[in-house]
Chain A
Amino acid sequence: MKLQEIVKNLGLEVLVKSNTFDQQIVEGVYVCDLLSNVMAHGRENDLWITIQTHQNILAVASLLNFSAILLPENLNPDRETLMKAEKENIILLKSSQTAFTLAGQLYELGLRGERG
C-alpha cells in the first residue's frame, strides 16, 4: 500500500518528507519502543509506531529500511531528530491518536503485522 494513501486516510501530519515520499510503500506495521526488540523483529517497508523521539530511532529505521516512523499522541521529535531526519531522508509522521487506535485503523486498511 502507498504511504501517501495511509497519510491521507488517517489524517497524519507529515513532519519530514523524504524525496521518495510519493513512491514509498508500506508492507507491514510494527509497534514497539524497545529498540533492540525492534532491531530483531522490524522488517523492510514497515511503518513503525513508537513513542521514542530521540535521534537513535532514525538509525534503527534506516538500518532496517522502514518506510516511515510514526509518532503517536502528539509527541514531537527532538530537535536533532527532526534535523537529522531531513538530512538522512527519513520520513517522520505524527498523529494525535494513541498507538492502539492507529494500529486499529491501519489494520482496517488491510495492513498486517505478522510476517510471511
Chain B
Amino acid sequence: MNNDKHDLPSLTVKEIMITSVVTVFPEMTMGEAKEIMRLKNITGMPVIDKNRKVIGVVSIADVFQALDEHKLDAPIRERMTVKVHSVKPEDSISVALSLFRRYQFGRLPVVDDGNTLVGLITPKEVIAGLAAFLKLEEINEGDLGTKSGSEINRTLEFHLQGGNFDQAGIAASTLKKTLQEIGIRPEIIRKATIATYEAEMNVVIHADEGILKAVITADKLKISVNDRGPGIANIEEAMQVGFSTAPDKIREMGFGAGMGLPNIKKSSDYFKIDSLPGKGTDLYIEINF
C-alpha cells in the first residue's frame, strides 16, 4: 500500500471540491436545517457566521436527535457539532481520504488559513477525483449513492408476535409518525404505511413471531421483515390478489382478502420475498423518497 502513496499528492482538495456549498447560520432552528436538508437532499451542512467563518457542522444525525428530544425549535448553535475537522484547498487528496477513513465523516468543509469556507468535499468527490486521476472510465454512481446514503440512517425495530392483535399496527403507526416528523412527502408516507401495516399483519396472522426493521436513509426507506413460521410454499400463488389461507375466524375480522402482499408490492419500488416452508419468511422492500 505505502509504496503507492507517492502517486496521490499531485491531486489536491482544490481540484475536486464542490464550491457552491449549502450552508446555514447558527441562529436558524434545527427545524429549518431539517427542511433545507430535505429540499436539497443532503445529509449535513457547515454552519457559518456572517463572515463565512466555519463555526460548526450540522448533520442529519443531529436533526434526528433533536427530533427525538422534541427540540426542533432550538437554534442550530445549541445542537451543532462544534469540533469541526476541515481541510485546506492545497491539502492533498490523501489527507482528506485518511480523515474520511478515520472518522467516518460524511463531509469535510474546505477552509482557507483564516477559517473562511471555500468549499466542501464528500467521499463521493474523492472517489470521482481518484477515478479521473486513475483514468477509470466509469464509476458506478449507484454504489456511491448507497455508501453515502447509509451513513445517515435511522433504524426502527419492532418485535412482532403471531396472534397478537392488540399490538398490531404499532410498527406502521410509529414509522408513519417518524416519517412525518422528518418531513417526507405524504404520498410516500402513505405507501410506507400501507406496506408496513400489511407486512406486520402477515406476521401477526400467519407466522409465529418476527422482526420488522425499517431503515431510513437520505433517499429511501428500507424495510425488512423476517419471521419464524410456516413460510410460504408457493410464492407466486401467494402473490395473487384473492389468494389467502387465513382461517375463517380471521376472515370474520375482515382479514384474508388476499390483498396484503399485492398491496405491499404496489407500494414499493423494490420488492423481494423469500421463504423456506416450515421455517419462515423474509420480506425486503424499498420505497424511494
Q: Is B59 an interface residue (CB 8 A)?
A: no
Closest to A33 in B: B254
Let me know if A34 and B165 touch, CB within 8 A: no
Docked Cα-Cα span, A73 to B201, in Å, equals 28
Q: Which of A36, A38, A44, A55 contacts B166 (CB 8 A)?
A: A55
Q: Is B14 an interface residue (CB 8 A)?
A: no
Closest to A52 in B: B254
Let me know if B253 and A59 touch, CB within 8 A: no
Let me know if A50 and B254 touch, CB within 8 A: yes
Q: Is A19 an interface residue (CB 8 A)?
A: no
Let me know if A63 and B172 touch, CB within 8 A: yes
Given A52-B253, A59-B173, A59-B197, CB of A37 within 8 Å of CB of B259? yes
Let me know if A34 and B259 touch, CB within 8 A: yes
Given A52-B254, A55-B165, A56-B253, CB of A62 within 8 Å of CB of B259? no
Let me know if B254 and A34 touch, CB within 8 A: yes
Closest to A35 in B: B254
Which chain A positions have C-beta within 8 A of B201?
35
Enumerate A23-63 residues with CB–CB distance to B below 8 Å: 33-40, 44, 50, 52, 54-60, 62-63
Which chain B positions have C-beta within 8 A of A59?
168-169, 172-173, 197
B29 → A minimal CB distance (Å):
26
Docked Cα-Cα span, A60 to B215, in Å, equals 23
B254 → A minimal CB distance (Å):
4
Among A34, A52, A54, chain B packs the most CB atoms within 10 A around the CB of A34
Let me know if A63 and B263 touch, CB within 8 A: no
Size range of the chain B interface in the assembly: 20 to 34
Let me know if B194 and A39 touch, CB within 8 A: yes
B78 → A minimal CB distance (Å):
32
Among A33, A39, A44, A64, chain B packs the most CB atoms within 10 A around the CB of A39
Which chain B positions have C-beta within 8 A of A38?
254
Which chain B positions have C-beta within 8 A of A60?
169, 197
Which chain B positions have C-beta within 8 A of A37?
257, 259
Which chain A positions have C-beta within 8 A of B165?
54-56
Let me know if B253 and A40 touch, CB within 8 A: no
A sample of 12 inter-chain contacts (CB < 8 A) reads A36-B255, A36-B260, A38-B254, A39-B194, A39-B197, A40-B194, A40-B263, A52-B253, A54-B253, A56-B165, A59-B172, A63-B194
What is the interface of chain A, defined by CB distance below 8 A to chain B?
A: 33-40, 44, 50, 52, 54-60, 62-64, 80
Beyond A40-B259, A52-B254, A59-B173, 17 additional pairs, beta carbon < 8 A: A34-B257, A36-B257, A36-B259, A36-B260, A36-B263, A37-B259, A39-B197, A40-B266, A50-B254, A55-B165, A56-B165, A56-B254, A57-B254, A59-B172, A62-B169, A63-B173, A63-B194
